[in-house]
Amino acid sequence: MKTALIIGPGAIGTLLAWHLQNSFSLVVPQHRSDQFLPIRLLDQEQEYPLNWHLSKPDDINPDIDLVLVTTKSSMVRTATSPFLHRFQGATWLICCNGMGPQQWLSEQQPGRVLWASTTEGALQTSSQEVLHTGRGETLIGCAQAELANSDCLQMAHWLTEQSGPLTLRWADDINTQLWRKLAINAAINPLTAHAGICNGDLLAPHWQAELSAICAEVSAVAAAQGVQLPVNLLAQVREVAERTAHNRSSMLQDMDKGRPTEIEAINGFLLDRGHEQGIATPRLRNWYDAIKKREP
Ligand code: KPL
């Protein structure tokens, strides 16, 4: 059996563990002596036991096939750094919100990193339990497939071929897929987090001018980067806000829990790209500053 190390056993990490547990032996690095892993996953009122275990970082067997990174984007560097030089033959798969950590990890592990973008919904309801809140799919791809080593491509192939409860699909255009998610997050997350509202509240008339201005800035930055976003990004944002109307965005949840948000990997990334291309991004800057001011 192959072995996978999961760095970031939160809601999405747990969901992917549920999918992978039939084909991988799963290990999670232990950070604290009082740390626990969720023991069950709830999907459509059925309970599924989770088969994974914690291991002290120094005790982890170096024969790891896959390192799955599912931390918050703000934690990627800190959480992965102790392991970057440990698993020589491993493929890395990073699945987190925003952009920036993916590029950073790919520079650390050239040719070995797969990127993933998921529309699955999951919520950790207690220290023991994770709830699968919404069915989606997980796209896996290589931002620069021509630079990927053969083990990495084989692993991608293998992951997308394995049967399991989730849908994992190969995406030739994973970079575009991540940009699309980034664009939606840049419109929805800071506004909902700052105003303390659910996603659907953004459909109110008084938010439309702001959403439109943000979409225009994001589209201009993406176009300058050669990334094709939906022509009517605002309509797409509204569609997601409607579909997830009762959701509290991940940034709102982070803010409520006093955790660092993912603003750096969302607005921060777009501000940097805009700056490089000489594109004005005042609304993205405004929301970046507003969230930064309130972060712990
Ligand atoms: O991805 C999301 C998030 O909250 O991070 C959206 C699409 C906004 C759904 O809540």
Q: Is the CB of 185 under 6 A from ligand 1?
A: yes
pLDDT at 145: 83
Q: Of residues 2, 56, 72, 181, which has the active-site annotation?
A: 181
CB under 8 A, 24+ apart: contacts of 75-78:
75/8, 76/101, 76/104, 76/105, 77/101, 77/104
Nearest CA to ligand 1 atom 4: 249
Bridge partners (DSSP) listed for residue 140: 116, 170
Instruction: Name the pTM for this structure.
Output: 0.96
Alpha carbon of 58 to ligand 1 centroid (Å): 35
Question: What average pLDDT does range 20-31 have in this prediction?
Answer: 96
Q: Taking 90 as the threshold, does the pLDDT of residue 216 lie above it?
A: yes
Query: Distance between CA atoms of 152 and 257, rounded to whole angstroms?
Result: 36
Active-site residue flag, 2 = no
- Tell me the pLDDT band of 146, cut-offs 50, 70 and 90: confident
Alpha carbon of 228 to ligand 1 centroid (Å): 20
Q: Taking 90 as the threshold, does the pLDDT of residue 126 lie above it?
A: yes
12, 181, 184: which to mutate for ligand 1, most atoms within 8 A of CB?
184
pLDDT at 81: 96
Query: Distance between CA atoms of 55 and 82, rounded to whole angstroms?
Result: 14
Mean predicted lDDT score pLDDT of the chain: 96
Compute, in degrees rounded to 10, the torsion defined by CA atoms 71, 73, 74, 79: 40
Angle 282-294/208-224 helices, nearest 10 degrees?
Answer: 110
Q: How many CB atoms lie within 10 A of CB 289?
A: 12
Question: What average pLDDT does range 66-93 have in this prediction?
Answer: 96
Quickly list H helices, the chain: 11-20, 76-80, 101-108, 150-161, 174-195, 208-224, 233-243, 250-256, 269-277, 282-294
CB under 8 A, 24+ apart: contacts of 224-232:
224/273, 224/274, 224/277, 224/279, 225/179, 225/273, 225/277, 227/175, 227/176, 227/179, 228/176, 229/179, 229/180, 229/183, 230/180
pLDDT at 88: 86
Task: Give the side-chain half-sphere CA count within 13 A for 290.
Answer: 17
Nearest CA to ligand 1 atom 10: 249
Q: Is the CB of 189 under 6 A from ligand 1?
A: yes
Domains of the chain as residue ranges with CATH: 2-172 (3.40.50.720), 175-294 (1.10.1040.10)
Q: Is the CB of 250 under 6 A from ligand 1?
A: yes
Query: Distance between CA atoms of 94 and 174, rounded to whole angstroms?
Result: 12
Question: What average pLDDT does range 8-34 have in this prediction?
Answer: 96
Query: Distance between CA atoms of 241 and 184, rounded to whole angstroms?
Result: 9
Alpha carbon of 249 to ligand 1 centroid (Å): 5
pLDDT at 296: 83
250, 261, 266, 267: which to mutate for ligand 1, most atoms within 8 A of CB?
250
Bridge partners (DSSP) listed for residue 49: 40
Which residue's structure tokens are 């232990």?
Answer: 30
Bridge partners (DSSP) listed for residue 250: none
Instruction: Report pLDDT digits (tens) over 272-286.
Output: 999 999 999 999 999
Alpha carbon of 185 to ligand 1 centroid (Å): 6
Answer positive or negative: Cα dihedral of 160, 166, 167, 169. negative
